[in-house]
């Protein structure tokens, strides 16, 4: 039994989605960002950074969406989201997961929390810098998806849930990820998963992308 602390659409989305997809038993606890519940003393005792997601596993608390995605896939091999040691796609699986967590997520942090970097007066410059680099990531990912149906290769894996969540975050940016053709086709495949609609329903999110091209 897991407990997931989440806020709709945020970095907890991929973990919520994976838990649903795997069909494992979990309790989802909403952390309301409007009332700043993520900075409440109670939540800071659970997650000292005051961020989501937090996943409680057998009484122990774990953080970092990319690590949680890898952990859940590994703990539930029957769900077929893991690419285990020795499998040919393992290196790509790990490389892309770390690339998204290490390169793309900090750029999103700069985009969504632009004042953290250089104060209010630097917001526009920080966002412009982040935007260019996020779009470069989509170029790279689009080139990858021209070669393979999923991020790690032929098989769907945990990294696809993480990648799709990060693509969704671009939906209101000047150039959303689904403007790249291979990414758009990929998102059609991800959106066809039953668990995709389920997590959107449970988090009260509008389906994205709005336009389906592959069906």
- 124/4 Cα distance (integer angstroms): 34
Smaller CB separation from ligand GSH, 87 or 173 = 173
Min separation Cβ 154 and ligand GSH, Å:
26
Determine the interface stretch with ligand GSH among 50-58, 133-141, 143-151, 175-183 (rule: CB under 6 A).
Answer: 50-58
Q: Are 17 and 55 in contact (CB under 8 A)?
A: no
Binders of ligand GSH: how many residues, by CB under 6 A? 11
Nearer to ligand GSH, 28 or 63 (CB): 63
Q: Alpha-carbon dihedral of residues 158, 210, 183, 105, nearest 10 degrees?
A: -60
- Minimal distance in Å, beta carbon 78 to ligand GSH? 25
**In sequence order, what DSSP letters do the residues of 97-149 get, joined into one string?**
HHHIIIIIHHHHHHHHTTHHHH-GGGHHHHHHHHHHHHHHHHHHHHHHHHH-S
SS3 category, 79 = helix
CB of 177 or CB of 184, closer to ligand GSH: 177
Binding segment for ligand GSH among 47-55, 83-91, 142-150, 192-200 (CB under 6 A)? 47-55
Task: Describe the strand order of the beta sheet including 60-63 as a list of residue ranges.
Answer: 26-30, 2-6, 54-57, 60-63
Q: Which stretch binds ligand GSH (CB under 6 A): 48-56, 75-83, 117-125, 132-140?
A: 48-56
The reply on whether position 10 binds ligand GSH by CB under 6 A is yes
State which of positions 99-138 bind ligand GSH (CB under 6 A): 105
Contact 209, 191 (CB under 8 A): yes
Q: How far is the CB of 11 from ligand GSH (least distance, A)?
A: 4
Selected binder of ligand GSH within 6, 64, 82, 111 (CB under 6 A) = 64
**Residue 38 binds to ligand GSH (criterion: CB under 6 A):** yes
**Distance separating alpha carbons of residues 176 and 179, to the nearest angstrom:** 6
Beta carbon of residue 1, minimum distance to ligand GSH (angstroms, whole number): 21
Distance separating alpha carbons of residues 38 and 184, to the nearest angstrom: 33
Calpha distance 81→22 (Å, rounded): 8
Residues 133-172 that bind ligand GSH (CB under 6 A): none
For ligand GSH, the binding residues (CB under 6 A) are: 10-11, 38, 50-53, 63-65, 105
């Amino acid at each position: 039994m897991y407990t997931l602390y989440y806020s709709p659409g945020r970095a907890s989305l991929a973990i919520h989605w994976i838990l649903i997809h795997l069909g494992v038993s979990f309790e989802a606890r909403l952390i309301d960002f409007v009332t700043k519940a993520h900075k409440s003393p109670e939540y800071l005792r659970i997650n000292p950074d005051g961020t989501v997601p937090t996943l409680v596993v057998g009484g122990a608390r774990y953080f970092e969406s990319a690590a949680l995605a890898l952990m859940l896939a590994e703990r539930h091999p029957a769900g077929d989201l893991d690419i285990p040691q020795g499998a040919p796609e393992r290196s790509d699986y790990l490389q892309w997961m770390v690339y998204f967590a290490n390169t793309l997520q900090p750029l999103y942090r700069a985009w969504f929390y632009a004042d953290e970097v250089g104060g209010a007066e630097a917001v526009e410059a920080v966002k412009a810098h982040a935007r260019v680099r996020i779009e470069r990531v989509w170029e790279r990912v689009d080139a990858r998806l021209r070669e393979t149906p999923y991020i790690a290769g032929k098989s769907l894996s945990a990294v696809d849930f993480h990648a799709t969540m990060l693509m969704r975050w671009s939906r209101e940016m000047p150039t959303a990820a689904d403007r790249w053709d291979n990414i758009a086709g990929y998102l059609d495949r991800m959106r066809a998963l039953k668990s995709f609609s389920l997590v959107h329903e449970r988090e009260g999110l509008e389906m994205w992308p709005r336009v389906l091209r592959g069906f």
